[in-house]
């Protein structure tokens, strides 16, 4: 496995693969890797000849009160994990390498599907994601790019701008990887105290309970209220509990497949999760 | 010369060239071609193995009171001209082919350098240009893309987002092609009456006079005023007469290379032109 820290170095490393028309798979990450990320790499490994993983904590997707400075940076450990799952090239650029020292004037914004859920709580976040992911796509020029369904709204935003801008690659969404107790894996889980970590699986439990309720005919509104109640009782501060279509449009009743979305804080740590509940015919 | 009207068709046509790693040159146009466009194609022909010209009147870069509906569409004549100068592939997609029938939520905006000059008079225009040019770049995936310096601000916007987004191609700016009397060639010249066509070269004449004045030590402010006065006297309604650095930053005195910009209307037809005046050392 090679590690490249410059765009030029990465291009040189990828050049033989490109000339040979090999299938390039790309997994963009912010590092601090867990099994969720490694499953993305395993998926890429299955479909592609060459697997590139980027590790870049992107400053422009963090809000002023978010955790950019303290976001965990664990490149050595990440590299060992990536080598084990068959990553070919790690791309770990500096902020200067990605953004240069001239001012950036270009922004990419995706409207409509960013207006609520995490978009509401994190203004500018998805613009920052769209810009950095577009840059990385242009640098790596992969055939396939892999993203986790845990950040479902992010995945939808990426699918949207890839389609709207005719970016020549296929986006693959990979199901959420969970701990044995159901907690969706996330780098931010590392911020939880031992006590909070014990409470955290309530999110997934409440989503699974909601799935059952929906199948039992409980109304969507009531089901969402129940999740909120459960999580508040468990000690969360709930940001939102929402239902959407798979295309992120609002939905009033369980009359088609629905995605249930939760964002909730334990102390200062904000956790998100989602579950698709399928209409049984 | 091939003509392709679908993205899929174009991809198929370009596939052998891509596999053979040939150098692809791209000239995006809105059709109604004149010698200015043909010179872009000739430049592309010099540098590239395969030359693609797109002809697409892009609805999203026209304002509500602009001439989208009436913009001249002359595909047959354009095709003959392109065949003569050695174009390999004409890409002439429909609006539906470019924008599909699902809503577009993605926008690309370039700040700072779009705040004045044509950006001020045409809100949203450069967003529309950035989106369609990015889409075309992603569809054609050229090594080089050619743009005229007549639309200098547009060229600067394209250079900016190409750099900011790491789009993997080189942008080539080609000098303005002029009629014998100095009028910068433009599709919009066709809207001029015979009388207006006689007056139109005053723009270039006033720019050349300004160049001389600057070299004679007349102040930049006075020189700009003189252009305005000359054009107003000649019957133009002046939109702006401005001086900028080559990077489009404001400039107060002729102490470095300067670009003089003019936008002015004859009747309802808006003409633009510019001239670089070099500092003589």
For A59, half-sphere exposure in the C-beta direction (CA atoms, 13 angstrom radius) is: 8
- 10-residue mean pLDDT profile of chain A (281 residues): values are 98 96 97 98 98 98 92 96 98 98 96 93 95 98 98 98 98 98 96 97 98 97 98 98 96 96 97 95 66
What is the reported pLDDT for A281?
66
For the structural domain made of A2-174, what CATH number should be given? 3.40.50.620
CB contact under 8 Å between B135 and A166, yes or no, is: yes
How distant is the Cα of B268 from the closest Cα of chain A, in angstroms? 32
Quick check: B227 and B207 in contact, CB under 8 A?
yes
Marked catalytic residue, from A37, A125, A215, A229: A37
Cα–Cα distance, B241 to B264 (Å, whole number): 8
Cα–Cα distance, B139 to B204 (Å, whole number): 36
Q: Which residue in chain B has the smallest CA separation from A99? A: B164
Q: Is A229 a catalytic residue?
A: no
DSSP string, A161-192: HHHHTT-SSEEEEEPPPB-TTSPBP-GGGGGS
Domains B2-174 and B187-273 are alike in CATH topology: no
Q: Which residues are CB-neighbours of B223 under 8 A, at least 6 positions away?
A: B210, B213, B214, B243, B254, B260
The two tokens of residue A90 are: 């790690």
How many C-beta atoms surround the C-beta of residue B115 within 10 A?
Answer: 12
> What ipTM was reported for this prediction?
0.95
For residue A102, which residues of chain B lie inside 8 Å, CB to CB? 163
Q: Among residues B226, B51, B69, B273, which one has the least CA distance to residue B140?
A: B51
Cβ-nearest to B104 among A100, A138, A164: A164
Q: Which residue in chain B has the smallest CA separation from A111? A: B105
CB contact under 8 Å between B164 and A7, yes or no, is: no
What HEC string does chain B produce?
Answer: CEEECCHHHHHHHHHHHHHCCCCEEEEEECCCCCHHHHHHHHHHHHHCCEEEEEECCCHHHCCCCCCCCCCCCCHHHHHHHHHHCCCCEEECCCHHHHHCCCCCCEEEEECCCCCCCHHHHCCCHHHHHHHHHHHHHHHHCCCEEEEECCCHHHHHHHHHHHHHCCCCCEEEEECCCECCCCCECCHHHHHCCHHHHHHCCHHHHHHHHHHHHHHCCCCHHHHHHHHHHHHHHHCCEEEEEEEECCCCCECCCCCCCEEEEEEEEECCEEEEEEEEECCCC
Which has more confidence, A67 or B62?
B62
Q: Which residues are CB-neighbours of A247 under 8 A, at least 6 positions away?
A: A113, A156
Delimit the domains of chain A by residue range.
Answer: 2-174, 187-272
What are the tens digits of pLDDT across the range B154-205?
Answer: 999 999 999 999 999 999 999 999 999 999 999 999 999 999 999 999 999 9
Inform me whether the pLDDT recorded for B280 exceeds 90: no
**Tell me: domain B187-273, CATH 3.40.50.10490, correct?**
no
What are the tens digits of pLDDT across the range B80-124?
Answer: 999 999 999 999 999 999 999 999 999 999 999 999 999 998 999
How distant is the Cα of A280 from the closest Cα of chain B, in angstroms? 27
Q: Which residues pair with B174 in a beta bridge?
A: B148
For the structural domain made of A187-272, what CATH number should be given? 3.30.1300.10
What is the reported pLDDT for A280?
80
Overall average pLDDT of the B225-251 stretch? 97
Q: At what angle do helices B7-19 and B125-140 cross, to 10 degrees?
A: 50
The two tokens of residue A7 are: 């765009």
Cα–Cα distance, B30 to A271 (Å, whole number): 49
For residue B130, which residues of chain A lie inside 8 Å, CB to CB? 106
The two tokens of residue A162 are: 């890839």
CB contact under 8 Å between A111 and B105, yes or no, is: yes
Cα–Cα distance, A123 to A128 (Å, whole number): 10
What is the reported pLDDT for A89?
98
What is the reported pLDDT for B281?
66
Quick check: A174 and A194 in contact, CB under 8 A?
no
What are the tens digits of pLDDT across the range B124-165?
Answer: 999 999 999 999 999 999 999 999 999 999 999 999 999 999
For residue A139, which residues of chain B lie inside 8 Å, CB to CB? 166, 168
Quick check: B33 and B82 in contact, CB under 8 A?
yes
């Amino acid at each position: 496995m090679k590690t490249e820290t410059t765009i030029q170095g990465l291009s040189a490393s990828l050049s033989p693969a490109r000339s040979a028309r090999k299938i390039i798979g790309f997994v963009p990450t912010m590092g601090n890797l867990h099994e969720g990320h490694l499953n993305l790499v395993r998926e890429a490994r299955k479909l592609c000849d060459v697997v590139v993983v980027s590790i870049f904590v992107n400053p422009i997707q963090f809000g002023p009160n978010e955790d950019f400075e303290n976001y965990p940076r664990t490149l050595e450990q990440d590299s060992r994990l990536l080598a084990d799952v068959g990553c070919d090239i790690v791309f770990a650029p500096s902020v200067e390498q990605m953004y240069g020292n001239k001012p950036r004037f270009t922004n990419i914004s995706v409207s409509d599907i960013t207006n609520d859920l995490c978009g509401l709580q994190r203004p500018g976040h998805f613009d920052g994601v769209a810009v950095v992911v577009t840059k990385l796509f242009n640098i790596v020029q992969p055939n396939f790019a892999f993203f986790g369904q845990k950040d479902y709204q992010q995945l939808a935003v990426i699918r949207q701008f890839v389609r709207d801008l005719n970016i020549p690659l296929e986006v693959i969404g990979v199901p959420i990887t969970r701990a044995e107790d159901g907690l969706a894996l996330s780098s931010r889980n590392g911020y939880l105290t031992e006590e909070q970590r014990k409470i955290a699986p309530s999110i997934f439990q409440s989503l699974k309970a909601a799935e059952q309720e929906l199948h039992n005919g409980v109304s969507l509104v009531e089901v969402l209220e129940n999740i909120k109640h459960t999580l508040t009782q468990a000690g969360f501060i709930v940001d939102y509990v929402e239902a959407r279509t798979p295309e992120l449009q609002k939905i009033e009743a369980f009359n088609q497949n629905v995605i249930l979305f939760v964002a909730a804080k334990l102390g200062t740590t904000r956790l998100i999760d989602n579950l698709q509940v399928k209409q049984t015919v």
